[in-house]
Amino acid sequence: MSHTWAVVMTAKEPAQLVLANVGWHLGTGASEVHVYLDDPEDPVADLLQDVPGVFATRCDKAHWRATAPGKRRPDSHRKRQGLNAEQAMARAGTDWLVHLDADEFLWQDRPLGAEMAAVRELDCELHFAVHERLFPRDAPVPQIFSGAFRTSTKALNRRTDGIDNDAVIFGTLAPVLNNGVLAHSAGKHAAPTDSDFRPGLHWSYRGKGRDRAQRYHSTSTRLLHFDGLTRLHWLSKLIRYRDVNPELIKLPLHRLAQIGVYQDIAGDPAALAEYHRELREPDAAALARLRTFGLLFEPAFDPAPTIQRVLGYLPDLTPETFDADLRARLPQLP
C-alpha cells in the first residue's frame, strides 16, 4: 500500500530554483505541488501554470484578505508561510502534505509513499532529518545543485557530562553552527491531511492550539537543504536576516554570530569570499573528518534529468545564470 503526498512552499526565488523544486518532487512521487508566490508579480507564475500537478497562487491583496486573520499581508514571512500551508492542507487532494522551502529537496532511499502508509497507523507526523549542502574545496561547480552534504549532529548532542560534541568536532567553527549546520537543524515534516493536523514550518500541531504533534523519524527520506545555492545567494540570506525586525523573528545565536562576522567584512569582497570558503568550502582534511564522524552525505544528486522529464525542458542551472537572476531581483546585493 502507498499513500499520496503533496508539497507546499512559499517562494520568492529565481525562477530556475522554483521550477527545479517543482520538477524534482513531481518526478519523484509527489502528486501535487502547491506554490505560493510571495511576490504576486513573480513571472514564474506563467511558467508554472502549464505544469500538470502544480497549483500556483499569487499572494496578492485579494489572497491575504481571504487568508490572513487581519485581512492584510502579515509582516512575518514565517506567518505567511504558515497561513499558506494551512490553506494548502485544506486544498490538497492527497493523503499527506510536506511543508518545504524552495531550496529544500527530498531524497528518498526507498519510496516515501509506502512509509507514509505505514506511519499513518501511528497517528503522528513524519520527520525528515536535514542534510545541508557544502562545496568541497576547489571542486568544479557545474550547476547550482553540485556538492556534498553536511549532516546535522542534532541526534548526537544529548550528553550530561559537560562535553560539547560540536566544540570537539568543529573547533572554532562551532559558534556559527547549529548542531553542525549553518542554517536550521530542525528538519522538516509531513502531516496527514485527513485529521486535525495543522502544518507549521518545522513541525505540525494538533487542533487549534500550540500542541505539537507526535512524530516518527523517517527511515526512507532525508531533507537536502541548499542554504545558499551560490555564495551570492548565501550572502543575500545573511543580509535579509540582518535586516529583519527582531520583534517579528528572534534569530538564533548561530545566525547572529554569522551576521556579526559579515557586518565586520561587508565592504571587503576578498574577505567575504574567504568567509564563504571557511564556512562552506571544506578542504580535504575537513571532509575526511566529517566522513569519519559519519557527518558527510554524498549522494549522486543530479536533479536535471528528472526536472527535464517533468517540465519538458531544463532551466539554466548554472551558478552564473542563477546569480544574474538573483541580482536582477535584488540589485542592492554587493
pLDDT in tens, 19-30: 999 999 999 999
pLDDT tens sequence across 5-23? 999 999 999 999 999 999 9
Instruction: Provide the pLDDT for residue 21.
Output: 98
Q: Per DSSP, which regions of 27-167 are E strands?
A: 32-37, 54-58, 96-99, 104-108, 125-128, 130-134, 148-151
CA end-to-end span of the chain = 51
C-alpha closest to that of 182 among 170, 194, 192? 170
Instruction: Provide the pLDDT for residue 240.
Output: 86
Which SS3 state, helix, strand or coil, does residue 197 take? Answer: strand
C-alpha closest to that of 248 among 79, 84, 65? 79
CB 230 within 8 A of CB 144: yes
State the residue for C-alpha cell 507549521.
Answer: 200
Per residue of the chain (334 residues), what is the pLDDT tens digit? 899 999 999 999 999 999 999 999 999 999 999 999 999 999 999 999 999 999 999 999 999 999 999 999 999 999 999 999 999 999 999 999 999 999 999 999 999 999 999 999 999 999 999 999 999 999 999 999 999 999 999 988 888 898 999 999 999 999 999 999 999 999 999 999 999 999 999 999 999 888 999 999 999 999 999 999 999 999 999 888 888 777 777 888 999 889 888 889 988 999 999 999 999 999 999 999 999 999 999 999 999 999 999 999 999 999 999 999 999 998 888 7
CB 189 within 8 A of CB 99: yes
Rg (CA), the chain: 20
pTM of this structure: 0.96
Structural domains in the chain, CATH included, are: 5-162+180-229+296-327 (3.90.550)
Q: How far, in whole angstroms, is CA 27 from its chain's centroid?
A: 18
User: CA 260 to CA 264: how far, in whole Å?
Assistant: 7
Please give the grid coordinates belonging to residue 75. 509582516
